[in-house]
Amino acid sequence: MAQAFRLREILEIARIEGKVTVEGLADHFGVTVQTIRRDLAELDEGGRLERVHGGAILRSGTINIAYRERRALNAEGKQAIAQACAAEIPEGASILLNIGTTTEAVAEALRHRAGLLVLTNNTNVAQILSANPDCQVVVTGGTLRRSDGGLTGHVAEATIRLFKPDLAIIGCSALDTDGDVLDYDIQEVSVSHEAIRRARRVWLVADHTKFQRQAPARIASMADLDTVFTDRPLPPALAERCADWGTRVVVVG
The pLDDT score that the predictor gives to residue 3 is: 84
Of 114, 120, 119, the closest CA to residue 135 belongs to 114
Compute CA 252 distance to the chain's CA centroid, rounded to the nearest angstrom: 15
Model confidence at 63, pLDDT cuts 50, 70, 90, reads low
Average model confidence (pLDDT) for the chain?
Answer: 91
Give tens-digit pLDDT for 66-100.
667 677 778 899 999 999 999 999 999 999 999 99
User: What is the set of domains in the chain, with CATH numbers?
Assistant: 3-58 (1.10.10.10), 67-251 (3.40.50.1360)
Q: Is the model's pLDDT at 47 over the cut of 80?
A: no
Q: Which residues touch 214 (CB under 8 Å, ≥6 apart)?
A: 60, 61, 174, 176, 182
Give tens-digit pLDDT for 229-252.
999 999 999 999 999 999 999 999
Measured between its terminal Cα atoms, the distance across the chain in Å is 32
